[in-house]
Amino acid sequence: MYQYILFDLDGTLTDPKTGICRSVEYALHDVGISVNSLDELEPFIGPPLKDSFMEFYNMSEEEAESAIVKYRERFSVTGLYENEMYPGIRELLIKLTKAGKHLAIASSKPTVFVEKILKHFEIYDYFHIVIGSELDGRRGKKEEVVKEALLQLVGDNKELLAGCVMIGDRKYDIEGAQAFGLDSIGVTYGYGGSEELAAAGATYLADKVSDLEKLLLPPANRVKRFLGLVTAISDCILPILFYWLVTTTVVLILTALLQQNGMSVSYQLSVWMNAFGSLAAIPFLLKMIRINHVQETTIRSEKKIRYLLLAILGGSSALFLNMLLSYVRLSELIPLPQSLTDYQSVAQVQYSVSWMEGMMIYGMIMPIAEELLFRGVVFTRIRKYWKSLIAIPASALLFGFYHGNIEQALYGFLMGCMMAYFFWLSNDLLESVILHSAANVIVFTITFNRYVEMHINKPLNCFIFAIISLATWYNLSKHEIS
């Protein structure tokens, strides 16, 4: 049974006909060539564009490269999203992931476009690696793409090649697999057709996505399904346990060093030790995150406005929820052990540091570490196995429970839902970090001084902050995600 599965993209996972054909038509129109129907341009789906322009319209190599530039002019903006995912693909990817398969994309399309399409359909996280061609023409042949995918999947271990399979809809996919002795599955629902795929030597043919499932997954019994569920849950929970282990280890080491030197551990020192523990965990969390969730290093003015709105939303929502919870008094309503309801002891430790120290710890270190963990790793892993509508509250629930105290847990759950939602919406981890940081900064600042807190914490202000939150959320919904 195959353990390493390479997928083509166009015609295999998604139907890109409209976007590709209209972009080809756009490029041909630029050189005075008109087409009667988009159906004429279907042969462009699958093989490298340069080869297609040269083969079907007798272009020279230089003319083909110019046509590609024109093609990308439209495709990178519009054609990219004129695309549909074949029914059943998402469900297949979920099942393969739960079964522990290693999935890869091996496409002739430029990697930058492949990644955008996968993220657009929210299936990027199912793939261990994503390999495509390069915009400068490198890795333009399917063989080169497959070679790089195999190199990253199995390295130099040739024994593992027997467990690899290439899936695609054109002869180029089959030929790319044969170049390395791989089995191949030709999907006839794409654009190559059964005759082309059979003639190319496909090991198997699949007429439907369900046929792919039969070829890639054996019938699962109840024990295997249960073990698959356990594996999925473990994959989502273990990062939290690992984070706890790293932070706890750092705290214990620092405590031992202080005591060895005759120093006692004050509340202030304990806060800093926890912060150092979180800092120590950050490099490990970054390694767990496959994708760069911060979308761009140079932030355009439109993005700056969105980040500002997110900061306002984080601060206003945090104040509204904190005030509301102070009125409800959950600790008095719910009969739980004191360790789960006693917020005062937690606050005593949190506010043992100065305001400037609090800004650094609660405004920077903790938001970055916790967002890497709960959104970057945990939410992303849950979304691999279940739908986003489940991943948002599930990851937020874990985030809330991690805080222990019942009031903080509920607050963490509600804020966690919001942070996960905006991360899911934009795939930009910086958005959830800004929300988290703004919430921590404003709450710590207001509650740091008892007199300021008493002046701010009033029902009318609670209502005002709720209105600000709703208005900001509405503006964010109208603000384009770039």
Active-site residue numbers?
8
For Cα atoms 423, 424, 429, give the angle at the middle one, nearest 5 degrees: 25
Q: Are strands 14-15 and 84-85 parallel, antiparallel or unpaired?
A: antiparallel
What distance, in Å, lies between the first and last C-alpha atoms of the chain? 42
Between strands 129-133 and 164-168, the pairing is: unpaired
Q: What are 168's strand-pairing partners?
A: 186
Q: Is 480 helix (H, G, I), strand (E, B) or coil?
A: coil
DSSP 279: H
Query: Tokens 């060539």 belong to which residue?
Result: 33
List, as one string, the DSSP characters of 299-367: --HHHHHHHHHHHHHHHHHHHHHHHHHHHH-HHHHS---HHHH-HHHHHHHHTTS-HHHHHHIIIIIHH
Give Cα 289 to chain centroid, integer Å. 8
> Is residue 275 within 8 Å of residue 370, measured between CB atoms?
no
Q: Tokens for 401? A: 């429970």
Vertex 413 angle, CA 302 and 372, to 5°: 55
Residue 191, φ and ψ in degrees, nearest 5: -115, 0
CB 250 within 8 A of CB 242: no
* CB-CB contact of 193 with 42 (8 Å): no
User: C-alpha distances in angstroms, 151 versus 146, 158, 409?
Assistant: 8, 10, 45
Q: Is 445 helix (H, G, I), strand (E, B) or coil?
A: helix
Angle at 171 between CA 112 and CA 6, to 5 degrees: 50
Kindly state the tokens that stand for 392: 């948002």
Residues written for the chain: 482
Q: How far is CA 242 from the centre of its chain?
A: 20
Helix, strand or coil for residue 263? coil
Contact in structure between 173 and 166 (CB atoms under 8 Å): yes
